[in-house]
């Protein structure tokens, strides 16, 4: 493989997700394999502006493939949104002799990378790391699979208490713009209803559906609610509405929150991270820049940053129908 790049920087940026460490490990080890020096950049663009770099070798990333979070830390940087901030970051990279970057993050991080590339003609590649799975160009982002498993485990536990007390639980899960997590965990956790940003079920239909379930002999129910569901009420307002309009249920709310981002990455995420890291580094070596690596039909493929950022990650509508049938 021909290559003129001698030093590559790697960072994690935006929200953390399980599998980021596995991706860092993969980038560092792929660099070592090809005799490229690798620098870790702490705290995303913030650390890049400050020159907070650490030289990494194959041994620096031992024992992290199974760890959640990110050893390089992550941050959101206001300063990088300014031309001056990006110029400072460029200078720091130049001082260190870093010639290309691998950015592990979400669409905001890729937007920053793309602008940086346009301004300084600096080679950049992206690895999608976010539990929301809201990025176009990959069927799975890093951390999504782990988050699904974490949430299903939580729902199973909530179900135990729901059925013991004849309770109706509204379980809020992450997903401000897309309902991937809600839809999948709803089906896997046997939810009565799944409320997602892509669909507006409406309060009346929700209550009607819960009444139907009760009539059919169900003594407890779980409704999975994505943060950004279209009914537009918070889970607590949903609880109040159902309390007022439906008798016979003890209604409770569980907001799963940040625990969804943590934990040891699943086998799937570890393998995906390893594959994506290799592809990102080897693409840089081939002279490719401004692309995100992604998974399509079990093949690691590249999508231009602008498409990955602007394109919409679509939910699987078939799952909605499956959910309807399963919750009869």
The catalytic site residues sit at 132
> Residues 5, 12, 14, 180: which binds ligand ATP (CB under 6 A)?
14
Nearest distance, CB of residue 138 and ligand ATP, angstroms: 13
According to CB under 6 A, which residues from 152 to 181 bind ligand ATP?
none
Helix (H) or strand (E) holding 170: strand 167-173
Residue among 45 and 169 whose Cβ is closer to ligand ATP: 45
Sign of the C-alpha dihedral computed for residues 298, 301, 305 and 310 taken in this order: negative
Q: Is residue 128 a contact residue for ligand ATP (CB under 6 A)? A: no
Residue among 17 and 221 whose Cβ is closer to ligand ATP: 17
Q: Is residue 221 a contact residue for ligand ATP (CB under 6 A)? A: no
Could you tell me the two tokens for 125?
């590649």
The strand pairing partners of 300, in sequence order, are 295
Nearest distance, CB of residue 170 and ligand ATP, angstroms: 24
CB-based contact 180:137 (threshold 8 Å):
no
| CA pair distance 267, 264, nearest whole angstrom | 9
According to CB under 6 A, which residues from 24 to 83 bind ligand ATP?
45, 76-77, 80-81
| CA pair distance 307, 284, nearest whole angstrom | 19
Nearest distance, CB of residue 3 and ligand ATP, angstroms: 28
> Residues 9, 18, 47, 106: which binds ligand ATP (CB under 6 A)?
106
Helix (H) or strand (E) holding 146: helix 144-165
| CA pair distance 68, 17, nearest whole angstrom | 7
Residue among 137 and 189 whose Cβ is closer to ligand ATP: 137
> Residues 18, 112, 143, 294: which binds ligand ATP (CB under 6 A)?
112
Residue among 37 and 132 whose Cβ is closer to ligand ATP: 132
Q: Is residue 13 a contact residue for ligand ATP (CB under 6 A)? A: yes
Which of the stretches 10-18, 184-192, 237-245, 276-284 binds ligand ATP when contact is defined by CB under 6 A? 10-18
| CA pair distance 227, 182, nearest whole angstrom | 9
Residue among 77 and 274 whose Cβ is closer to ligand ATP: 77
Sign of the C-alpha dihedral computed for residues 213, 214, 218 and 221 taken in this order: positive
Nearest distance, CB of residue 44 and ligand ATP, angstroms: 6
Which of the stretches 109-117, 209-217, 232-240, 281-289 binds ligand ATP when contact is defined by CB under 6 A? 109-117
At residue 278's C-alpha, the angle toward residues 7 and 288, to 5°, is 65
Nearest distance, CB of residue 110 and ligand ATP, angstroms: 7
Total residues binding ligand ATP (CB under 6 A): 17
Per-residue binding string, ligand ATP, 271-300, x by CB under 6 A, is ------------------------------
Nearest distance, CB of residue 282 and ligand ATP, angstroms: 23
Could you tell me the two tokens for 309?
């950022």
Q: In the chain, where do the E strands start and end?
A: 7-12, 37-41, 53-56, 100-105, 124-128, 167-173, 193-195, 221-226, 250-255, 291-296, 299-304
Residue found by looking up tokens 């407890």 in the block? 220
Q: Which long-range contacts (CB under 8 A, 24 or more apart) does 157-163 make?
A: 158/222, 158/254, 159/189, 159/190, 159/220, 159/222, 162/220, 162/221, 162/222, 162/252, 163/219, 163/220
| CA pair distance 160, 157, nearest whole angstrom | 5
In the complex, which residue's CB is closest to ligand ATP? 108
Binding interface with ligand ATP (CB under 6 A): 13-15, 45, 76-77, 80-81, 105-109, 111-112, 115, 130
């Amino acid at each position: 493989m021909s290559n003129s790049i001698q030093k590559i920087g790697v960072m994690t940026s935006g929200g953390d997700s399980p599998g980021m460490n596995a991706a860092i490990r993969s980038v560092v080890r792929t660099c070592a394999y090809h005799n490229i020096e690798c620098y870790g950049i702490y705290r995303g663009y913030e650390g890049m502006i400050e020159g907070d770099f650490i030289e990494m070798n194959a041994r620096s990333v031992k024992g992290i493939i199974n760890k959640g979070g990110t050893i390089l830390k992550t941050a959101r940087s206001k300063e990088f949104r300014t031309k001056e901030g990006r110029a400072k970051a460029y200078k720091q990279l130049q001082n260190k002799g870093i010639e290309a970057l691998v950015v592990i993050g979400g669409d905001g991080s890729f937007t920053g990378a793309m602008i940086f590339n346009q301004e300084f003609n600096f080679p950049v590649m992206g690895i999608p790391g976010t539990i929301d799975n809201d990025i176009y160009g990959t069927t799975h982002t890093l951390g999504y699979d782990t988050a699904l498993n974490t949430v299903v485990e939580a729902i199973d536990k909530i179900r135990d208490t729901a059925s013991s007390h004849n309770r109706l639980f509204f379980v809020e899960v992450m997903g401000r713009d897309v309902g991937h997590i809600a839809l999948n965990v709803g089906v896997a956790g046997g939810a009565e209803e799944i409320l997602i940003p892509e669909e507006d079920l409406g309060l009346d239909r929700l209550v009607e559906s819960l009444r139907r379930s009760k009539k059919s002999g169900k003594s407890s129910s779980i409704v999975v609610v994505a943060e950004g569901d279209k009914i537009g009420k918070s889970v607590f307002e949903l609880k109040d509405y159902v309390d007022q309009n439906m008798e016979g249920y003890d209604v409770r709310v569980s907001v799963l929150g940040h625990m969804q981002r943590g934990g040891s990455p699943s086998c799937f995420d570890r393998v995906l991270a390893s594959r994506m890291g290799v592809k990102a580094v080897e693409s840089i070596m081939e002279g490719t820049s401004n692309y995100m690596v992604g998974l399509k039909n079990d093949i690691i493929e590249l999508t231009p940053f602008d498409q990955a950022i602007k394109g919409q990650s679509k939910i699987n509508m078939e799952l909605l129908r499956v959910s309807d049938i399963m919750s009869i």
